Amino acid sequence: MRMLEERRELIEYGKKLLTARLTRGTGGNLSIWDPETNLMAISPSGIPYEEILVNQVVLMDVETGKIVEGDAVPSSECDMHRIFYKYRDDLRALIHTHTTYAATVACLRQDLPPLHYLLAYAGVNVRCAEYATYGTVRLAKNAFEAMKDRNACLLANHGLLAGGADLAQAFNVTEEVEFCCELYCRTKAMGEPVILDEAELTMMIGRFRNYGQHMEEHEAI
């Protein structure tokens, strides 16, 4: 069985989406891309995340879109995943969800502005893709356009798409964008949020690349 570890990881993160309340039921989908074989593993359609078996995770050829392995029907959004792996080499995992606050902003068809520095995990802002029916090539193309130079985009009247170098990073981007969408909705209910400028977000993007167990340089105080 090819991409066995990736299939298991995809199942694990599907369950994490439920636990973190980033999805419900069978909503959304996840994928992992292997650039060496140009295959992507994607969650099956209509099967609850806690019930997905390893053999039901579908492998597809990114170039042709043909099913290579898997005892289930692939997610209806397989083309939306495939277009990113076909034309971007920096994303190797994608997560699509219908999180409450991201979907709320998406229903307004608004871009999410940088009201909090954590949005830098996605980019200097999060654009909202033009509306298209779910599961269509048009939606895939709209999402790809909206997500240029970004790690996430909103899907108009639909939800959120987030990507990363692996599923852990894609999951983190999903969490942070949903958090910022919640902040946006709450602050808009009270007034107008103060938006950070692009230079600040660009600086934060650079800092996040090196975030972790290392010593940062600090200015004298």
Task: For residue range 188-204, list pLDDT tens digits in order.
Answer: 999 999 999 999 999 99
pLDDT in the model for residue 211? 66
Rounded Cα distance between 26 and 183, Å, is 26
What confidence score (pLDDT) does residue 219 get? Answer: 60
**What are the tens digits of pLDDT across the range 122-162?**
999 999 999 999 999 999 999 999 999 999 999 999 999 99
Q: What is the pLDDT of residue 32?
A: 98
Average pLDDT in the 68-77 region? 97
At residue 120 the predicted structure's pLDDT band, cuts being 50, 70 and 90, is very high
pLDDT at 25: 86
The arithmetic mean of pLDDT across residues 14-20, rounded, is 96
What pLDDT does 62 receive? 98
Q: What pTM, to 2 d.p., does this model score?
A: 0.94
| Confidence (pLDDT) at 220 | 66
Helix/strand/coil (H/E/C) assignment for every residue in 55-81? HHCEEEECCCCCEEECCCCECCCHHHH
Q: Which two tokens stand for residue 104?
A: 């709320």
Contact in structure between 32 and 167 (CB atoms under 8 Å) = yes
- Domain extent listing, the chain: 4-209
Taking 50 as the threshold, does the pLDDT of residue 186 lie above it? Answer: yes
User: What's the rounded Cα separation, in Å, for the pair 144 and 148?
Assistant: 6
- Give the H/E segment covering residue 27: none
Active site residues: 77
Say whether pLDDT at 213 is over 50.
Answer: no
Residue 84 Cα to chain centre, angstroms: 11
Average pLDDT, the chain: 94
Measured in residues, the chain has a length of: 221
Please give the pLDDT value at position 209.
82
Q: Does domain 4-209 have CATH number 3.40.225.10?
A: yes
C-beta contacts of 6-12 below 8 A and 24+ residues apart:
6/32, 6/34, 6/41, 7/41, 7/54, 7/57, 8/54, 9/167, 10/41, 10/42, 10/43, 10/57, 10/167, 11/49, 11/52, 11/54, 11/57
